[in-house]
């Protein structure tokens, strides 16, 4: 029956085959059979690729992979993330004492495996968590209270200032949350180095606007009161959501929220706030501590959520350089002693920074006002709540109930869905021992031959980029020369870090994690120690050269990045799995998959934001005025094209894509697919007998040309279903176009696509006007 369906699918699309392609034998390897079967399953051959290529390439997927209850979106990125998590789980739960991937006779290999299993085992030990109850969190709060007693001694203002400063430093040292948190961003004045950047934090409701909603604020006050009652009072952890909480705790909840409302700018401060906010650093999407250019984990450049750490606006490069000193901080917040804060936080052998990048100075004014308007006890309770909010999730389930209630109550967030405990623990493994788990992940799925092949493919794509620059008559000679120089020195890191640690070396991994103590019976303590360990790593890297051999993400990450200030791309091993890459797949699939991803990342070096950085990562004007004008004219075509695309919202109305805010991603999508295709085609034509490059036909897909399957594979990266409310949220918040239009937008602009599928001029996927930049 399956074979019959495959034959029917083939017969339905014979008219799209291109005649005269080189004859190739059929690949019948297990991997080729799996790939062919999956492609046929994802496609909807009855759809016309020249009318709606998304439906043709993904129609079968859309019908087969319906969203589950509580699921907002799905797709291959999600599927691979699930596969990777399951693989990590199989590694850390192996019954074999030597474990999968443990190198026999290598003591370091055995020790890191044991450490990894101890961490995971402690996380999974729910009985122990239940036995220790709330005590670990109580102990941490008590330590905090010893640093900041919170006594209301009006005659000891200086002592209070020192105590509060010591608390800020204590939290910073241990990786706990302060109203102002520091992170590392690229130093644009000194590429290759990091600088400390302050950002606002400390809000339990996350979004400032929520503090204007009286209903939400009231519920939030009650949730805080319940958490205090069961952690610091005598409340029953099984306290239901309607049970009365003593007045002493409800007042604490009101006081804490009042403090946060000043931070949120809702409660009017007694002093006017500054309004001349600093410009946000173009490299500002800091979801991990190394500031990759595309850092959000979900779906990266493949599925709507990567960020290229760039503003959409064409801003004056000089406007991005702002530095502050400790003296500046002390002037803005006289209630704090920042030198004491940093001396408390930084390791004794590390000098405190002399310059900082202070973003959103108005928030410092808010924080100062909140401190001055609040009594010491309220401030202490605020920090206790912040600790409960962040560390409470490491307690047994009953003690997390108020936090889950908060999560389920917040708007734009689905009700808290219970996750299998193992998934939570694997996430924590990846967060705190990611490269250690990555060592075994690499050994399981990413051999050296695969790394070499991906590097070779990217080499061909870079050649395609270089060749293309000579074809653009709108580039003046000076700008072309600079662009070629930038392309030449783009670094690429594929698979995993080779230093700090070298992920494939057990001894290097062991040394990297040497100072992180893991206790097989202390899950809560493992989290606290991990937080402090990571914080020290960050503080030690301030003002130090960036390690160019280290990836900004762990190997099992399903994502890819370009960093403009480092002028480099990285593709972790986590995404180098089918359908994006398989060593045994034909090249037209690999170039349509991971080749498109790599070319997309390279393309970000020359999009509307990346083009402003030179080959060294310096933000400067290296373009001739005439070339800038030509670039902008070609970019405007994309803006107008994507502005016409729409999605249907939850209420059935159509909403337009924002062609301006998605411009950088659209440029990278279109240029990336074009240049990946040309790189593959050059190899394909240079090897008609298939002796050097594998371009064999797939079983059951012989009537499709390699050119057609290249584009089908490109589209499959975006196959996925999205709920209408999530689609609308992404339309407003994301800098990527919706999935359908990432597929069809590229198809409409691609002459290669039109030729491959013989689309007549004027059909929806082959309009007469095409947008082409790179």
Amino acid 275: pLDDT? 36
The token pair at 466 is 């270089």
Enumerate the domain spans of the chain.
2-6+30-81+432-756, 133-278+322-418
The token pair at 455 is 């590097």
Report the distance separating Cα 664 and Cα 603, nearest Å. 9
Choose between 291 and 219: higher pLDDT: 219
Looking at 223-232, 288-297, 651-660, which range is the least confident one?
Answer: 288-297
What DSSP designation does 573 have? Answer: G
* Residue 173 contacts residue 183 (beta carbons within 8 Å): no
Report the distance separating Cα 269 and Cα 370, nearest Å. 8
Instruction: Tell me the backbone φ, ψ of residue 654, rounded to 5 degrees.
Output: -90, 140
Amino acid 158: pLDDT? 67
Amino acid 417: pLDDT? 52
Instruction: Tell me the backbone φ, ψ of residue 172, rounded to 5 degrees.
Output: -65, -40
As assigned by CATH, the class of the 133-278+322-418 domain is mainly alpha
Full DSSP string of 395-418: S-GGGGHHHHHHHHHSTTSPPPPP
In the CATH hierarchy, which fold is given to the domain comprising 2-6+30-81+432-756?
Answer: Collagenase (Catalytic Domain) (3.40.390)
Q: What is the pTM of this model?
A: 0.87
Question: Confidence class of residue 3 from pLDDT cuts 50, 70 and 90?
Answer: very low
Amino acid 103: pLDDT? 85
Reported as type and span, the H/E element at residue 381 is helix 376-391
Looking at 314-328, 482-496, 650-664, 699-713, which range is the least confident one?
Answer: 314-328
Mean pLDDT of all residues in the chain?
A: 87
Amino acid 157: pLDDT? 57
Helix, strand, coil percentages (3-state) for the chain, rounded to 5, are 55, 5, 40
The token pair at 351 is 């000098």
Question: Confidence class of residue 416 from pLDDT cuts 50, 70 and 90?
Answer: very low
Per-residue pLDDT, averaged over 216-226, amounts to 95
pLDDT digits (tens, 9 = 90+) for 439-495: 999 999 999 999 999 999 999 999 999 999 999 999 999 999 999 999 999 999 999
Report the distance separating Cα 732 and Cα 611, nearest Å. 25
Q: How many C-beta atoms surround the C-beta of residue 41 within 10 A? A: 15
Choose between 409 and 37: higher pLDDT: 37
pLDDT digits (tens, 9 = 90+) for 418-435: 579 999 999 999 999 999
Looking at 237-246, 353-362, 721-730, which range is the least confident one?
Answer: 237-246
Let me know if 67 is exposed, middle or buried by CB neighbors in 10 A (0-12, 13-18, 19+): middle
Amino acid 238: pLDDT? 74
Choose between 354 and 398: higher pLDDT: 398
pLDDT digits (tens, 9 = 90+) for 680-707: 999 999 998 889 999 999 999 999 999 9
* Residue 502 contacts residue 513 (beta carbons within 8 Å): no
Question: Confidence class of residue 70 from pLDDT cuts 50, 70 and 90?
Answer: confident
Amino acid 13: pLDDT? 41
Report the distance separating Cα 719 and Cα 42, nearest Å. 8
In this prediction, what percent of the chain has a pLDDT beyond 90?
Answer: 74
Amino acid 32: pLDDT? 96
Report the distance separating Cα 495 and Cα 486, nearest Å. 23
Question: Confidence class of residue 533 from pLDDT cuts 50, 70 and 90?
Answer: very high
Report the distance separating Cα 508 and Cα 497, nearest Å. 11
Amino acid 319: pLDDT? 42
Amino acid 272: pLDDT? 40
Report the distance separating Cα 522 and Cα 628, nearest Å. 58
- Beta strand 654-656 pairing with 180-186: unpaired
pLDDT over threshold 90, residue 765: yes
Full DSSP string of 278-308: PPPPSS---SSTT--SS--TTTTTTTT----
In this prediction, what percent of the chain has a pLDDT beyond 70?
Answer: 87
Q: Is 265 left (phi over 0), alpha (psi -120 to 50) or beta?
A: left
**Which positions ≥6 away from 192 have C-beta within 8 Å?**
545, 546, 548, 566, 617
Question: Confidence class of residue 197 from pLDDT cuts 50, 70 and 90?
Answer: confident
Choose between 751 and 543: higher pLDDT: 751
pLDDT digits (tens, 9 = 90+) for 737-752: 999 999 999 999 999 9
* Residue 301 contacts residue 594 (beta carbons within 8 Å): no
pLDDT over threshold 90, residue 310: no
pLDDT digits (tens, 9 = 90+) for 37-60: 999 999 999 999 999 999 999 999
Amino acid 24: pLDDT? 61
- Beta strand 654-656 pairing with 194-200: unpaired
pLDDT over threshold 70, residue 294: no
Amino acid 153: pLDDT? 59
Tell me the C-alpha to C-alpha distance, in Å, between residue 430 and each of 82, 212, 671.
Answer: 13, 36, 33
């Amino acid at each position: 029956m399956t074979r019959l369906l495959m034959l029917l699918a083939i017969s339905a699309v014979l008219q799209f085959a291109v005649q005269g392609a080189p004859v190739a034998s059929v690949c019948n390897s297990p991997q080729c059979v799996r790939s062919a079967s999956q492609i046929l399953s994802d496609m909807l051959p009855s759809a016309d690729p020249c009318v709606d290529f998304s439906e043709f390439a993904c129609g079968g997927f859309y019908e087969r992979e319906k969203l589950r209850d509580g699921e907002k979106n799905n797709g291959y990125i999600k599927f691979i993330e699930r596969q990777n998590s399951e693989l990590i789980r199989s590694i850390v739960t192996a019954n074999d004492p030597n474990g999968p991937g443990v190198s026999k006779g290598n003591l370091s290999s055995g020790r890191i495996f044991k450490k990894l299993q101890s961490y995971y085992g402690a996380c999974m030990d729910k009985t122990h968590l239940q036995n220790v109850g709330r005590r670990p969190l109580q102990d941490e709060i008590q330590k905090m209270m010893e640093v900041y007693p919170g006594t209301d001694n009006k005659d000891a203002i200086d002592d209070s200032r020192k105590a509060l400063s010591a608390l800020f430093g204590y939290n910073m040292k241990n990786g706990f949350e302060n109203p102002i948190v520091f992170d590392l961003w690229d130093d644009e004045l000194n590429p290759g180095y990091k600088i400390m950047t302050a950002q606002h934090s400390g809000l339990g409701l996350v979004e400032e606007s929520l503090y204007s909603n009286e209903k939400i604020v009231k519920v939030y006050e009650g949730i805080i009161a319940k958490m205090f009652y069961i952690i610091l009072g005598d409340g029953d952890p099984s306290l239901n959501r309607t049970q009365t909480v003593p007045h002493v705790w409800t007042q604490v909840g009101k006081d804490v929220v009042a403090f946060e409302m000043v931070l949120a700018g809702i409660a009017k401060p007694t002093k006017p706030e500054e309004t001349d906010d600093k410009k946000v650093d173009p490299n500002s999407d800091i979801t991990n501590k190394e500031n990759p250019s595309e850092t959000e984990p979900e779906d990266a450049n493949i599925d709507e959520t990567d960020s290229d750490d760039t503003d959409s606006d064409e801003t004056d490069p000089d406007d991005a350089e702002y530095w502050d000193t400790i003296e500046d901080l002390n002037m803005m917040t006289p209630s704090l002693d920042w030198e004491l804060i940093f001396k408390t936080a930084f390791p004794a052998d590390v000098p405190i920074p002399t310059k900082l990048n202070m973003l959103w100075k108005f928030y410092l004014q808010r924080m100062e006002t909140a401190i001055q308007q609040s009594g010491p006890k309220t401030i202490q309770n605020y920090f206790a709540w912040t600790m409960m909010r962040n560390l409470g999730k490491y307690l047994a389930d009953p003690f997390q109930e108020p936090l889950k209630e908060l999560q389920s109550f917040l708007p734009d967030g689905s009700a808290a869905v219970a996750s299998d405990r193992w998934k939570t623990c694997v996430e924590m493994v990846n967060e705190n021992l990611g490269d250690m788990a990555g060592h075994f992940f690499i050994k399981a799925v990413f051999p050296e031959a695969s790394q070499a092949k991906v590097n070779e493919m990217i080499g061909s794509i870079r050649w395609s980029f270089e060749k293309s620059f000579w074809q653009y008559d709108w580039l003046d000679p000076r700008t072309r020369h600079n662009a070629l120089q930038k392309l030449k020195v783009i670094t690429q890191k594929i698979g995993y870090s080779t230093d700090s640690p070298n992920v494939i070396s057990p001894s290097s991994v062991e040394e990297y994690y040497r100072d992180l103590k893991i206790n097989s019976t202390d899950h809560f303590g493992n989290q606290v120690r991990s937080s402090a360990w990571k914080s020290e790593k960050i503080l030690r890297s301030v003002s130090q050269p960036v390690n160019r051999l280290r990836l900004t993400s762990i190997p099992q990450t399903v994502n890819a990045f370009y960093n403009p200030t480092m002028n480099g791309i990285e593709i972790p091993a986590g995404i180098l799995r089918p359908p994006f890459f398989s060593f045994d797949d034909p090249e037209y699939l690999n170039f349509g998959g991971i080749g498109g991803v790599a070319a997309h990342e390279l393309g970000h070096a020359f999009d509307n934001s990346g083009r402003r950085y030179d080959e060294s990562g310096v933000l400067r004007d290296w373009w001739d005025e005439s070339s800038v004008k030509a670039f902008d004219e070609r970019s405007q075509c994309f803006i107008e094209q994507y502005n016409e695309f729409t999605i249907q919202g939850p209420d059935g109305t159509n909403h337009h894509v924002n062609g301006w805010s998605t411009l950088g991603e659209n440029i990278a999508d279109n240029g990336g697919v074009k240049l990946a295709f040309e790189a593959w085609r050059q190899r394909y034509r240079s090897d008609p007998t298939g002796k050097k490059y594998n371009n064999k036909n797939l079983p059951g897909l012989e009537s499709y040309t390699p050119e057609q399957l290249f584009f089908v594979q490109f589209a499959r990266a975006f196959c996925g279903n999205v709920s209408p409310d999530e689609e609308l949220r992404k339309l407003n918040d994301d800098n990527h176009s919706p999935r359908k239009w990432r597929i069809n937008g590229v198809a409409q602009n691609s002459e290669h696509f039109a030729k491959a599928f013989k689309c007549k001029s004027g059909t929806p996927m082959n309009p007469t006007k095409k947008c082409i930049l790179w």
